[in-house]
C-alpha cells in the first residue's frame, strides 16, 4: 500500500487553512473543480474548506442520508455503492484523486461513498459551497461540466453492463481505469487496482469468480501482468481490440 501512515491517530488533519495543505500546493488542483478559480477566488474556497482523511473502508457518506457536505478527493480512492434491499450490490463508480463527490448538489445521496484506502479529501459544507456557486458562475459551469462528464461515463458504463461479454467488461474496465490514472500520475502502462475483485465484479455486473477467471485469462494471453495492487498492461492495443470499443 502506498498511503500507509500511522493509522490510530485521529484522521482529521489540518482543519481550516493549514499552510502546508493550502490549495496553492495542491497536486490535483488542475484536475479538480478548483481549476475554475484563480488567485484570490481560491481563497474564498479555502475559507470553507476542511481537510479530512478517511481510513480504509471508512464511510464518507451513506446512501439515503442528507448530503451536508461535498468532497474533493486529493489522494486515495473511493467506491460509490448502491445496495438493493436484498443485499445485492452495484458499484456505480470509483472516485480517484481530483474527483468531486456531490456533483449533483442534491438533497440526498443516491449511494454510499466508502474509502478503498486511506483517503484525503477537501470537505466543503454544502450550503457554503452552494453559496459560492451563486457567487461564482464559472465555478458552476465547471461543476456542470464535471457532472456532464460523469453522465457520459455513466452512459458508457450502461453499454458495458448491458451489451458486453465478461471478457469485454474486464478489458474495458482496465483500459478505462488506466486512462484515468494517466491523467493523475502520467503512467501509461500501470493501472493500480485499489479495489477488490468483488468490487470490480459489483461494478461490472459479474461475480468475483468470473472477474478472477477473466483476469487470469488476460494474463495467460500475455495482454496484462498481474502485479501487487494492480495490473500492468503489456499490450494495450490487444486489450482495446478485446474491449470492442
Q: Which is nearer to its own copies, 39 or 162 (CB)?
A: 162
Answer for the pair 70, 101: CB distance below 8 angstroms, yes or no. Answer: yes
Per-residue contact track with DNA, 147 to 176, x per CB under 7 A?
------------------xxx---------
First to last CA, the chain: 32
Helix then strand then coil, in percent of the chain rounded to 5, is 45, 20, 35
Q: Segment contacting its own copies (CB under 8 A): 53-61, 71-79, 142-150, 181-189?
A: 142-150
For its own copies, which residue of 82, 197, 217, 232 counts as binding (CB under 8 A)? Answer: 82
Place of cell 487553512: 17
User: Which of its own copies, DNA, none does residue 209 bind (CB under 5 to 8 Å by kind)?
Assistant: DNA
Residue 194 has phi, psi (to 5 degrees) of -70, -15
Where do we find the cell 467488461?
169
Instruction: Determine the interface stretch with its own copies among 25-33, 41-49, 147-155, 178-186 (rule: CB under 8 A).
Output: 147-155
Which of 156, 185, 209, 244 binds DNA (CB under 7 A)? It is: 209
**C-alpha grid cell for residue 143?**
461543476
Query: What are phi and psi for residue 139, nearest 5 degrees?
Result: -65, -40
Among 131, 226, 227, 241, binds DNA (CB under 7 A): 226
CA 144 – CA 122 distance, rounded (Å): 19
Tell me which of DNA, its own copies, none is bound by residue 166, counting a contact when its beta carbon lies within the kind-specific cut-off of 5 to 8 angstroms.
DNA
Query: Is the alpha carbon torsion for 210, 211, 213, 214 positive or negative?
Result: positive
∠ CA 66-70-71, nearest 5°, is: 135
Q: Determine if 111 is a binding residue for its own copies (CB under 8 A).
A: yes
Is 166 an interacting residue with respect to its own copies (CB under 8 A)?
no
**Site residues (vs its own copies, CB under 8 A):** 82, 84-86, 88-90, 92, 103-106, 110-111, 133-134, 137, 140-141, 143-145, 147-152, 154-159, 161-164, 202-205, 244-245
**Site residues (vs DNA, CB under 7 A):** 1, 165-167, 196-198, 205-213, 215-216, 226, 228
Amino acid at each position: 500500500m502506498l498511503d500507509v501512515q500511522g493509522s490510530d491517530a485521529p484522521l482529521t488533519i489540518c482543519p481550516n487553512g493549514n499552510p502546508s495543505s493550502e490549495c496553492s500546493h495542491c497536486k490535483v488542483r488542475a484536475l479538480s473543480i478548483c481549476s475554475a478559480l484563480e488567485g484570490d477566488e481560491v481563497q474564498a474556497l479555502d475559507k470553507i474548506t476542511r481537510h479530512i482523511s478517511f481510513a480504509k473502508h471508512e464511510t464518507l457518506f451513506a446512501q439515503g442520508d442528507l448530503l451536508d457536505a461535498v468532497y474533493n478527493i486529493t489522494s486515495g480512492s473511493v467506491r460509490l455503492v448502491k445496495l438493493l434491499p436484498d443485499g445485492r450490490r452495484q458499484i456505480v463508480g470509483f472516485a480517484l484523486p481530483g474527483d468531486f463527490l456531490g456533483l449533483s448538489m442534491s438533497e440526498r445521496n443516491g449511494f454510499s461513498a466508502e474509502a478503498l484506502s486511506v483517503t484525503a479529501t477537501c470537505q466543503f459544507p454544502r450550503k457554503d459551497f452552494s453559496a459560492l456557486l451563486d457567487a461564482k458562475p464559472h465555478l458552476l459551469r465547471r461543476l456542470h461540466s464535471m457532472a456532464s462528464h460523469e453522465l457520459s461515463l455513466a452512459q458508457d458504463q450502461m453499454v458495458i453492463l448491458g451489451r458486453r461479454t465478461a471478457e469485454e467488461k474486464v478489458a474495458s474496465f482496465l483500459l478505462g481505469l488506466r486512462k484515468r490514472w494517466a491523467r493523475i500520475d502520467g503512467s501509461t502502462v500501470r493501472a493500480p487496482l485499489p479495489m477488490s475483485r468483488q468490487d470490480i465484479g459489483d461494478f461490472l455486473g459479474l461475480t468475483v469468480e468470473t472477474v478472477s477467471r477473466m483476469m487470469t485469462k488476460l494474463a495467460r494471453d500475455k495482454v496484462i501482468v498481474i502485479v501487487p495492487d494492480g495490473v500492468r498492461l503489456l499490450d494495450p492495443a490487444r486489450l482495446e481490440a478485446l474491449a470492442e470499443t
